[in-house]
Amino acid sequence: MSEEVCYVCKKPFEDDEDPIEIMKGKYLVHEDCFVCAECGEPLEKYFMKDKKLMCKSCACPKCKVCGEAIEGKIIRVEEDRYHPDCFKCPECGTVIGTNDYKIRDGKVLCMACADKQ
C-alpha cells in the first residue's frame, strides 16, 4: 500500500487512510481528490474523460432539447446531440429516435413530414 499514489494528485496515502478505488481497483484516489476535474463537485458516479475524473454532467454531452447530460445512446445531428426520446419532429411531434430524418430549412423532420412538403 505504501508504494501507491493517488491517481489525481500523485501523492501517497496516509497509513490510516482508506483510498477510493477506481477503474476496478487499478488506481487509488484520496477521498478529497475524488471530485470532478471540471466543476469540482464531489463524485458519486465517476466518468473518465481525457484521463480525468469527471461528473456525469461535465463528461457527457448535453441534450439540445432538455439540456440534461446524455448517458448511453446519443443521437448526433451535425453539431447537436439529443437523447433518443428527445429527438422529435417539430412538425408532428413524433419521436424520430434512431429512425431516418431529413434536414430542411434548418429543421430536422421525420420522413413523413419531409415527404409531405
List residues near Zn ion by CB under 5 A: 6, 8-9, 30, 33, 36, 38-39, 55, 58, 63, 65-66, 83, 86, 89, 91-92, 94, 110, 113
Please write down the long-range contacts of 42-47, taking CB distance under 8 Å and 24 or more positions apart. Answer: 46/22
Least CB distance to Zn ion at residue 23 (A)? 15
Least CB distance to Zn ion at residue 24 (A)? 19
Sequence-separated (6 or more) residues with CB below 8 Å from residue 114: 101, 102, 104
In 3D, which of 40, 55, 41, 46 has the Cα closest to residue 27? 46
Residue 38 vs 80, nearer CB to Zn ion: 38
Residue 94 vs 97, nearer CB to Zn ion: 94
Residue 24 vs 44, nearer CB to Zn ion: 44
Q: Are 110 and 92 in contact (CB under 8 A)?
A: yes
